[in-house]
Amino acid sequence: MAVGPGEVAGKVRLLSGEVVASLLHGPELLEPIAQALVSYSSGAASAPPRAGAAAPGGWLAAMPAYLPDRTLSAKLISVFPANTAAGQPSHQGIVALFDAADGRPLCVMDARHITALRTAAVSALSVRELARPGARILAVLGSGEQARSHLQLVAAVRPFSEVRVAARNRERGLALVGEFPGSQFAPSFEAAVRGADVVLCCTDSRDPVVRLSWCRDGVHLVSVGTGAELDEFTLREAHLFVEWRGAVSSPPPAGAIELQGLNPEAVTELGELLAGTQPGRLSAAEVTVFKSTGLGVEDAAVARTVYDSALREGLGVSVAW
């Protein structure tokens, strides 16, 4: 059994949330995730539909994946939306990495920061590829960890001269604005959306937080919440992009609740767009939507990047297995 540089035979490396956070550098994740999405859309990578077990107040999801020549992984993540109001993370879990050649376990790491940043990185890729030229006004809806991660990463792919934040919880929204100098707090979702060129929906709302009547021509919309954040008129009129066609054909928690019943062939996978096999924005006036549901290959790409960095820097704890 071959052991890679920095690995110890018969041991598994453990990476805490603190260590994982120290090794995650947002902009550096864009290329590994882009490659993973291209690999998935080409059929080379594997990521079966997410499985979920319901619990009072939340659910636990399992997301295995295989990336050719990179890694074999599985993420277990719990999602408890009410935690945010109590000052606790809404997403908590672990990612386990395995050697893709022989299946031996390599590493177990905290998944919270990986989930937040990989989601924002995929959204940032969609903004980079789909926001219309000259886009300058960004609106972020929400005040939790996803909103924070999106503010950090999306600004790295496009310069914005105006950044608006709107949240149902005014106190948390104002606190988030305070973390990002130059951003401003909008009094309502509608006020934030009107005139915006890019709108990032990072809420846990079960009902639409964006309506087509509020949107300007050519807006790019991103929805990462598990609820139906965009109204039916927006989805009907927009050019839709997803990570995988299962977002349309697979029921929640794997697919998107608001996309159920749509024609899978009517949506474009982000990996196809990145590979150049399918077109992106067709005109400056077209409304584009990227609906994120998450995909195991994204977690695999980020977790492998973190693991490789931990080996190089000698971080984490190795335990006998």
The answer, yes or no, to whether the previous bond of 253 is cis (omega within 30 of 0) is yes
Residues in CB range of 265: below 8 A, 6 or more apart = 245
Mean pLDDT of 182-199: 97
The share of the chain scoring above pLDDT 70, in percent, equals 98
User: Which residue range(s) make up the domain with 48?
Assistant: 11-115+297-320
pTM of the model: 0.92
Q: Are 145 and 87 contained in the same domain?
A: no
Instruction: Name the strand (E) or helix (H) holding 23.
Output: helix 17-23
Whether the CB-CB separation of 198 and 154 falls below 8 Å is answered with: yes
Q: Are 109 and 49 contained in the same domain?
A: yes
Task: Give tens-digit pLDDT for 192-234.
Answer: 999 999 999 999 898 999 999 999 999 999 999 888 999 999 9
Q: How many domains does the chain have?
A: 2
Between residues 69 and 84, the one the model is more confident about: 69
Whether residue 120 is contained in a domain is answered as no
CA distance 21 to 119: 15
CA distance 150 to 179: 13
Q: Are 264 and 164 contained in the same domain?
A: yes
Q: Are 95 and 192 contained in the same domain?
A: no
CA distance 116 to 303: 12
Q: Are 172 and 261 contained in the same domain?
A: yes
Q: How big, in percent rounded to 5, are the helix, strand and coil portions of the chain?
A: 35, 25, 40
- The SS3 of residue 11 is strand
Residue 1: per-residue pLDDT: 39
Whether residue 6 is contained in a domain is answered as no
Q: Are 178 and 271 contained in the same domain?
A: yes
- Residue 8's pLDDT band (cuts 50, 70, 90): low
Whether residue 4 is contained in a domain is answered as no
Residue 3: per-residue pLDDT: 57
Residue 88: per-residue pLDDT: 85
Q: Are 149 and 85 contained in the same domain?
A: no
Whether residue 121 is contained in a domain is answered as no
Q: Are 304 and 289 contained in the same domain?
A: no
Q: Annotate 46-80 with b (16+ C-beta within 10 A) or e (fewer).
A: bbebbebeeeeebbbbebbbbbeebbbbbbebbbb
Amino acid at residue number 117: L
Q: Are 266 and 173 contained in the same domain?
A: yes
Whether the CB-CB separation of 236 and 214 falls below 8 Å is answered with: no
User: 75: domain CATH number?
Assistant: 3.30.1780.10
Q: Are 209 and 280 contained in the same domain?
A: yes
Whether the CB-CB separation of 137 and 164 falls below 8 Å is answered with: yes
- Residue 26's pLDDT band (cuts 50, 70, 90): confident
